[in-house]
Amino acid sequence: MATEDADEVHFNGLDVLKISVAIVCIPKIFNTRIHSLSASPVTALRTVISVTLSAHRRKWLTQGLLQLSLTGETKLDDAT
């Protein structure tokens, strides 16, 4: 699970996967229509993130997913 330091939150790859699955499922739970869903999974995920998360959390999660894709691990600074 996520561990919290004074100003940082650390996620492992499984946590990010769980978050991603939850984000994709949220619109289905609330019957939200996402027209870009058929365009590409990445576009659909971005749309879901933009609809469900605040601007601060969206930036924070996007940075974490990018870092995970580049390095295989995340070390997210919650203060940014």
Answer whether 34's CB lies under 8 Å from 48's CB.
yes
pTM: 0.24
Output the six-digit token pair for 58.
């969206």
Q: What is the pLDDT of residues 12-56, one digit of tens each?
A: 666 666 676 666 666 555 555 555 445 566 666 776 666 666 666
Per residue, the 3-state secondary structure of 36-55, as one string, reads: HHHCCHHHHHHHHHHHHCCH
C-alpha to C-alpha distance for 42 and 47, rounded to whole angstroms: 9
C-alpha neighbours within 13 Å on the C-beta side of residue 23:
25
